[in-house]
Amino acid sequence: MTSDASTDTPAARFRDLAKHYGDVRAVDGISLEVKAGEIYALLGLNGAGKTTAIRTLLGMIKPSAGSVELFGQTVSPQAATVWSRVGFLVETPASYPELTVAENLKVMARLKRLPANTIETAIAQLGLQSYARRRARDLSLGNQQRLGLAKALLGQPQLLVLDEPANGLDPAGVNEIRQLLKTLAAQGTAILLSSHILAEVARLATRIGIIHRGKLITEMTAEDLHEKVARRLEIRTRDQDSAAWILRQAGHQPHTTSDGAITVEGAQALEFPDQIATLLVDAGCPPLHLAVHTEDLETLFLRLTGQEVPA
Ligand code: ATP
């Protein structure tokens, strides 16, 4: 690693980045940074602006306003030296269909001016050994994605930029890539990826930026994400009116849902549901059902982006 990987200079930085297509604000003022050892996930629905932001960072699109930096250098045709430190995979991985996996990697290694032995490393990292002599056009979607990732990893770049890296992979493949990215991050690689799958991001990312309609609406650590998940205690008894009254008298704030369940969201009730059970039993209104429910991650995402949450 060169010196600035160990300093505070972020590997990637967006400074108030905007990209407009006519009236469409694909990216609308995003500022964020990704440092060595971080796995930063840009999380958003289809059309949120993730790919546009990533393509702009990689110099494939010119910003309408703001700027993007790689290792402290503003991305421009003049800043040619940083590219040897960046590996990327954007949208569908493009390969030469008539060339084998190994030949495709060889072409990329030559373009990046890397020694031939880097190919073996990338093939092994992506578990492509048994496909090395297969033509790219004969690969499954998942293995095409692996080849794309292998190309991104050639030469062990200090920054990896991956647009939807789990695309086309089966659950075992997703798991393998997750472990690989975690290992690379632990070794100091900065990783910026995009995804629309919150559950996957929650398992992989160290930091998460939720992007919606071109704006970064919130940033959080993986721990924050787990804390933001709403929980509630759901209670059913034979006499819900009396149960609600008993709970209110004891200082709780019960709500009744449209299907007649009582819910309580206070920390005390969530931590000690046994005390609620005892309270109701002692008051002659024993619970038939009492359970802590945790909001699923997809519902949390809809809530954070201000969208309608299905009942
Ligand atoms: P997806 O996961 O579907 O790829 P995304 O979050 O990557 O979504 P973008 O592809 O960045 O979203 O698109 C953001 C918005 O910008 C969308 O409304 C899209 O239609 C629009 N857009 C992207 N590229 C162009 C273009 N070249 N011309 C016009 N509009 C565009």
Least confident of 1-15, 17-31, 214-228: 1-15
The mean per-residue pLDDT over the stretch 192-208 comes to 91
Which residue lies with its CA nearest to atom 30 of ligand 1?
21
Taking 50 as the threshold, does the pLDDT of residue 153 lie above it? yes
Pocket of ligand 1 (CB under 6 A): 21, 24, 26, 44, 46-52, 196
- The model's confidence at residue 296, banded by pLDDT at 50, 70 and 90, is confident
Distance 218 CA to ligand 1 centre (A): 20
pLDDT in tens, 221-233: 988 887 888 889 9
SS3 of 278, please?
A: helix
For the chain, give the mean pLDDT: 90
Query: With the CA atoms of 34, 40, 46 and 52 taken in that order, what torsion angle do they form, in degrees rounded to the nearest 10?
Result: 20
The pick from 14, 42, 50 for probing ligand 1's pocket by mutation, whose C-beta has the most ligand atoms within 8 angstroms, reads 50
| Whole-angstrom distance, CA of residue 71 vs CA of residue 2 | 10
Which CA distances in Å does 273 have to 84, 184, 188, 245?
Answer: 56, 42, 43, 17
Least confident of 20-29, 32-41, 167-176, 296-305: 296-305
pLDDT in tens, 28-74: 999 999 999 999 999 988 889 999 999 999 999 999 999 999 999 99
Distance 52 CA to ligand 1 centre (A): 6
Give the closest residue to 93 by CA, choosing from 38, 129, 34, 139.
Answer: 139
Query: What is the architecture of the domain spanning 231-294?
Result: 2-Layer Sandwich (3.30)
The pick from 17, 21, 30, 194 for probing ligand 1's pocket by mutation, whose C-beta has the most ligand atoms within 8 angstroms, reads 21
pLDDT score at 1: 43
Tokens of 276: 């609620």
Distance 68 CA to ligand 1 centre (A): 18
Least confident of 94-98, 127-131, 152-156, 209-213: 94-98
Which residue lies with its CA nearest to atom 22 of ligand 1?
26
Pairing type for strands 159-163 and 190-195 reads: parallel
| Whole-angstrom distance, CA of residue 282 vs CA of residue 168 | 56
**102-118 in b/e burial notation, b at 16+ Cβ within 10 A?**
bbbbbebbeeeebeeeb
Percent pLDDT > 90 in the chain is 65
Give the closest residue to 69 by CA, choosing from 4, 164, 155, 3.
Answer: 4
- The model's confidence at residue 309, banded by pLDDT at 50, 70 and 90, is low
Distance 19 CA to ligand 1 centre (A): 10
Length of the chain: 311
Taking 80 as the threshold, does the pLDDT of residue 178 lie above it? yes
Distance 308 CA to ligand 1 centre (A): 22
Taking 70 as the threshold, does the pLDDT of residue 23 lie above it? yes
Domain ranges of the chain: 12-226, 231-294
DSSP sequence for 75-112? -STT-GGGGGGEEEE-SSPP--TTSBHHHHHHHHHHHT
- The model's confidence at residue 310, banded by pLDDT at 50, 70 and 90, is low
| Residue with the larger pLDDT of the pair 30 and 114 | 30
pLDDT score at 219: 94
**Superfamily the domain 12-226 falls into:** P-loop containing nucleotide triphosphate hydrolases (3.40.50.300)
